[in-house]
């Protein structure tokens, strides 16, 4: 009761249609709706608890300690697009903080019908601020007396005050009056529940009074279970304007509904729908249906786009998904996405615009006075219904003949501009407030996705650059060898992997090769991979078992806590032999000169970094001219549900069946044949070493 009287007084003195009182609990970062009047709790349910950081009028009023005034739906759509998307109705609202000195206790919001003038009248402003001052003193006094006023579990609704209470006889006479009317009548409370219904209304809608009283019309009557009916109810309650529409009662009876709102609820007049000029009672006056997407359509597009963009990877992916979703939904003929990078606009992609126009926008300095730059810097969307409107606003603009209307939507994420969405139409296009609100709200969703995509691309590029820097830039040319290497990162990951390979020329007739895989996909794995490769490279020339043993001791001394597999091969081209040792790595495949391919069997060795005293046995195999060794990591052969032995056998078969030719072409073939249809979850490294016949020029690719 402490807070209710000031709120009611403020609503009455300001002529507002409704009021909402929020409290800020001690130490909380949110406002809690505590008392409301003149509006349904069902309608304001999304804002019963408002975070102080949220883009909502009451949150801004408290956060900035200022009055927030929105005189119409258009301004709401521009400044608070997400709120406008949920409440696409004509109304005005003023929000102010409740303070005493440095203390903030909450916020007060008053609402007026959509017919309110653009300016807040002095009397209205005085009533609002007087109420805030009174509430602040009451809340401060309660807190000082150790009886602070805290929000209840649910907000309290103050019923509208009646100008007078009818006597029993008068109430009965009013009932009889309603029953005698030729039309059907019913009454809804602010929440939309039926509180009164006449016999004529029950006959028209085909239901009994006990089934209707206390129920929501769209729940009691299945043929009214359509988002449009509830939308009309919300529009009447919030705008305080009469709303009319028709509905089909199955199988073939059309009924006309006229909703007449006031502070206590709605009076509904129900009549058989009769077209103009027909015999019978003329149809009731109806408001024109709004042009543009309905509230349900806008919510659908918002949710669908958000779901689609949640799977977007990279900036170009965002561009393609946005174009696919928006152009058909809003009848857009041309669309372009630009990012803000290093003081310039950068074109990411476009559909429908000419290359000349895109070239003019691309690389535009963010200091230029163009429509695109001004919109991005101001954060305020710009809609130009005709090309003449654009020229009036920007006289120096070069208008393309194919663009008759255009819109510029700034993409703002976390308060910073990340890009711009440009829409083009081939005819004049006067956007409705609903369309502007929808596009502005969708721009907010796109901005979040674009911000994530820009970060992903940057991290992806950094990861690839780091990976490339840790792998050999080129393989050395070794007389008697044709070599090729391929590396493919894991699909859609932005982390660097631990796969590595190397080829070392020891002297004119000997060489060493290594391949390995460090556990994990992160910077630590990449750093360790670089150290392992360096250690192997530095000890190359020693017997294979000794090379692995030294590298193993280095890793155990580092205590890196990452396991590493490695295969080391020493090639003696003069003696036509290869000596090999493995540290838990997959065995190589050898294709012999006769075309037969086999998976070599190597004595097992522990992974590097496990036991400092581990031993790595070495074996020797023939490596005659015409032979090919394939060294690879598990990403080339492993797949979910796949037997690793069968996978290695399959790779050996592909190697045996491959026609003779350069190792570069063979490497491409093996990698392409192994790429799965789904994104890879592991890196792929492949090193092919072919012993060429004497006189063949060495190749390194």
The model's pTM is 0.56
- Average pLDDT score over residue span 368-387: 89
Collapse the DSSP code of 34 into the 3-class scheme (helix H, G, I; strand E, B; otherwise coil) and give the result: strand
Higher pLDDT, 482 or 461: 482
Tokens linked to 184: 């059907």
Does the pLDDT at position 300 exceed 70? Answer: no
Backbone φ and ψ for 328, nearest 5 degrees, come out as -75, -35
16, containing H or E segment: none
- Closest to 188 in 3D by CA, of 169, 206, 168, 215: 215
Alpha-helical (H) ranges within 88-167 are 122-144
DSSP secondary structure, 608-671, as one string: BTS-TT-----EEEE--TT-EEEEE-GGGT--TT--HHHHHHHHHHHHHHSPS--HHHHHHHHH
Tokens linked to 421: 């969405």
Tokens linked to 562: 């990452």
- Closest to 241 in 3D by CA, of 187, 283, 273, 288: 288
- Average pLDDT score over residue span 284-297: 46
Secondary structure tally for the chain: helices H, strands E: 21, 28
Does residue 671 contact residue 686 with C-beta atoms inside 8 Å? yes
CA-to-CA distance for 237 and 262, rounded, in angstroms? 7
Strand ranges inside 633-698, DSSP E: 684-691
Which tens digit of pLDDT belongs to each residue from 661-681? 899 999 999 988 655 444 455
DSSP secondary structure, 200-214, as one string: HHHHHHT--HHHHTT
- Average pLDDT score over residue span 35-55: 89
CA-to-CA distance for 374 and 417, rounded, in angstroms? 12
CA-to-CA distance for 483 and 666, rounded, in angstroms? 10
The half-sphere exposure of 49 on its side-chain side, counting CA atoms within 13 A, is 8
Which tens digit of pLDDT belongs to each residue from 65-86? 999 999 988 788 778 877 877 7
Which tens digit of pLDDT belongs to each residue from 450-465? 998 888 887 767 666 6
- Closest to 123 in 3D by CA, of 15, 283, 27, 245: 15
What is the pLDDT, as a whole number, of residue 83?
80
- Average pLDDT score over residue span 503-520: 88
What is the pLDDT, as a whole number, of residue 297?
58
pLDDT band at 521 (very low <50, low <70, confident <90, very high): low
CA-to-CA distance for 623 and 574, rounded, in angstroms? 10
CA-to-CA distance for 454 and 69, rounded, in angstroms? 35
């Amino acid at each position: 009761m402490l807070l209710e009287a000031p709120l009611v007084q403020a609503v009455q003195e300001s002529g507002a249609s409704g009021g909402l009182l929020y409290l800020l609990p001690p130490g909380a970062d949110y406002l809690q709706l505590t008392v409301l009047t003149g509006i349904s709790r069902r309608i304001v349910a999304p804002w019963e608890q408002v975070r102080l950081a949220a883009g909502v009028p009451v949150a801004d009023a408290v956060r900035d300690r200022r009055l927030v005034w929105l005189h119409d739906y258009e301004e709401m759509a521009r400044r608070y697009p997400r709120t406008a998307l949920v409440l696409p109705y004509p109304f005005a609202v003023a929000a102010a903080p409740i303070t005493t000195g440095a203390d903030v206790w909450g916020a007060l919001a008053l609402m007026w019908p959509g017919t309110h003038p653009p300016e807040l009248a002095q009397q209205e402003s005085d009533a609002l601020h007087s109420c805030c001052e009174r509430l602040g003193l009451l809340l401060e006094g309660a807190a000082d007396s150790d009886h602070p006023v805290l929000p209840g579990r649910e907000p309290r609704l103050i019923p509208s005050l009646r100008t007078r209470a009818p006597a029993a006889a008068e109430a009965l006479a009013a009932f009889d009056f309603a029953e005698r009317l030729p039309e059907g009548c019913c009454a809804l409370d602010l929440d939309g529940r039926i509180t009164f219904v006449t016999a004529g209304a029950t006959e028209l809608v085909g239901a009994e009074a006990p089934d209707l009283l206390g129920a929501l019309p769209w729940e009691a009557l299945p043929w009214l279970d359509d988002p449009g009916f509830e939308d009309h109810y919300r529009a009447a309650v919030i705008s305080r304007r009469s709303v009319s529409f028709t509905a089909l009662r199955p199988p073939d009876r059309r009924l006309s509904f006229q909703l007449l709102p006031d502070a206590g609820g709605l009076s509904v007049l129900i009549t058989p729908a009769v077209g103009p000029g027909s015999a019978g009672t003329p149809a009731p006056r109806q408001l024109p249906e709004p042009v543009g997407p309905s509230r349900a359509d806008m919510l659908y597009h918002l949710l669908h786009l958000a779901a689609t963009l949640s799977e977007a990877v990279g900036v170009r992916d965002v561009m393609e998904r946005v174009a696919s979703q928006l152009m058909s939904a809003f009848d857009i003929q041309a669309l372009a996405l630009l990012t803000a990078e290093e003081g310039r606009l950068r074109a990411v992609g476009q559909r429908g615009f000419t290359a000349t126009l895109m070239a003019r926008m691309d690389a535009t300095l963010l200091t230029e006075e163009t429509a695109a730059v001004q919109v991005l810097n101001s954060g305020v969307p710009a809609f130009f219904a005709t090309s003449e409107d654009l020229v009036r606003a920007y006289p120096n603009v070069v208008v393309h003949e194919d663009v008759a209307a255009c819109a510029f939507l700034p993409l703002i994420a976390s308060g910073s501009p990340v890009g711009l969405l440009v829409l083009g139409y081939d005819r004049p296009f006067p956007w409705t407030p609903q369309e502007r609100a929808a596009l502005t709200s969708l721009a907010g969703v796109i901005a979040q996705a674009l911000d994530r995509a820009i970060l992903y691309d940057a991290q992806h590029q950094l990861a690839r650059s780091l990976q490339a820097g840790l792998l050999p830039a080129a393989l050395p040319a070794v007389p008697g060898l044709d070599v090729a290497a391929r590396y493919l990162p894991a699909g859609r990951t932005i982390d660097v992997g631990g796969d590595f390979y190397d080829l070392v020329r020891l002297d004119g007739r000997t060489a060493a090769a290594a391949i390995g895989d460090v556990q994990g996909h992160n910077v630590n794995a990449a750093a360790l991979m670089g150290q392992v490769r360096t250690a192997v490279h530095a000890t190359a020339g020693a017997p294979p078992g000794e090379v692995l043993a030294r590298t193993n001791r280095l890793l155990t001394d580092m205590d890196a806590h990452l396991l590493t597999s490695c295969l080391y091969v020493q090639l003696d081209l003069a003696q036509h032999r290869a000596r090999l040792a493995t540290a838990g790595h997959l065995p190589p495949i050898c294709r012999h000169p006769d075309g037969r391919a086999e998976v070599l069997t190597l004595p097992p060795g522990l992974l590097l970094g496990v036991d400092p005293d581990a031993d790595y046995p070495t074996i020797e195999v023939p490596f005659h001219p015409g032979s090919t060794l394939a060294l690879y990591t598990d990403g080339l052969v492993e797949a979910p549900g796949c037997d690793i032995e069968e996978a290695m056998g399959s790779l050996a078969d592909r190697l045996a069946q491959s026609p003779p030719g350069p190792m570069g072409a063979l490497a491409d073939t093996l990698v392409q044949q192994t790429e799965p249809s789904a994104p890879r979850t592991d890196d792929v490294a492949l090193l092919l070493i072919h012993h060429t016949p004497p006189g063949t020029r060495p190749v390194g690719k």
